[in-house]
A = this chain, B = another copy of it.
Amino acid sequence: MEEGNLAGKKPVTLKTIGEKLNISATAVSKALRGDRSISEETTRKVKKLVEELNYRPNSIAKSLRTNETKTLGLVISDSTLSLFAPVIEGVEKVASEKGYSIILADAHSNVEKEKEAVRTLVSHRIDGFMLATSMLTGEEHKSFLDSFGIPYLFLLRKCEYESGNYVINDNVYGTCQMINHLIKTNSKRIHFINIAKSITTAAERERGYREALEANGIAFDKSIVYNVNPSFDEGYHQMSHILDAGEPVETVFCGCDMIAVGAMNSIIEKGYRIPEDIRLASYDDIEFAKYLRVPLTTVRQPKYRIGELGAQMLIEMITKDKDLHIDVVLKPELVLREST
């Protein structure tokens, strides 16, 4: 038996240890936590027995007593796990370093399921939670989220009210930089297949797009801006519609990489070359953007960093100041590849 309590045997508790040593469970508890009021002698004996019996503290009991579980909830929306994966890694890294575990819940891109996910997390008495690309960013959900009296923050997507906490990248800046770059490199007319308007990010990216056009004296043309769900299929179909309409297409900027992958396939299928005939760029820089048929020019969201900072800020809120206002906006970076 290497460690732990063997199946079937009754678990080792503080009391078990105390009985064997003829001291109280309290003393054992104190000894284990290094309380100086316990003699060195006793502490030594306790630690030895703990080792021998492979005692593992019952964190459930501890949590009930101390009212903290050392767990963080992470709600994700399943649409694009390729976007979440690095965020999860970043969260997990910081959390585990600070002694927290992650309980994962999937919202399945559905408001009701997301609320249910939060309720489930709360019933597990997580110390705080994070919402990645949440659908609950609107003011109307604020009271729901606040009602639990637990710190929380948004990752990747901003909430719509002033007082909310979030860790995001600067979508206006990133888009503006990219559009600016495209214009400087000879794109005059840029089709924009943006993500759906229901997502707060969409408005920010549109703003960046408009600002860049304006700065370069190009008129905004509503008729070449589209909004679709962030999926391969919708990107593919929207691009096909545009191409089928027969109007000249010079440059396409997509609101996220998954849309761009769909658009890319449509463009290639119809016999156009990228970037010779049509230049293509987008946003996110998911892992495989560089491995696509044509490596994709895109704006890199610091996903891993967002995860790290999110966990760090949340733990800050939990341990230091519940009312901390988190408003972290990271600068994204242009990644120029062959698609432009």
Contacts and interface: CB of A to CB of B under 8 A. Distances in A.
Nearest to A115: B3
Contacts of A78: 89
Interface string A264-295: 11000000000000000000000110011111
Given A56-B123, A149-B9, A93 B106 contact: yes
Contacts of A92: 104-106
A119 interface: yes
Interface in A1-18: 1-9
Interface stretch (A24-32, A61-69, A243-251): A61-69
Contact of A64 (B1, B60, B265): B60
Contact of A104 (B81, B104, B146, B288): B104
Interface stretch (A95-103, A155-163, A195-203, A328-336): A95-103
Interface string A104-136: 111000000000010111111100000000000
A71 B102 CA distance: 12
Nearest to A288: B288
Contacts of A322: 7
Interface residues of A, number: 62
A4 B288 contact: no
Copies in the complex: 2
26 contacts: A2-B144, A3-B144, A4-B148, A4-B149, A5-B148, A5-B149, A58-B64, A60-B124, A71-B103, A71-B124, A82-B85, A84-B85, A85-B85, A92-B104, A93-B106, A96-B106, A101-B121, A101-B124, A102-B103, A102-B104, A104-B104, A261-B291, A288-B291, A292-B292, A293-B293, A293-B294
Q: Which 10 A-B pairs have the closest CB atoms?
A: A7-B149, A4-B147, A288-B288, A81-B85, A4-B148, A2-B143, A92-B106, A59-B123, A2-B144, A102-B104
Interface of A: 1-9, 54, 56-61, 63-64, 69, 71, 78, 81-82, 84-86, 88-89, 92-93, 96, 101-106, 117, 119-125, 143-144, 146-149, 261, 264-265, 287-288, 291-295, 322
Given A60-B63, A101-B124, 5 more contacts: A56-B122, A88-B104, A93-B106, A101-B103, A101-B121
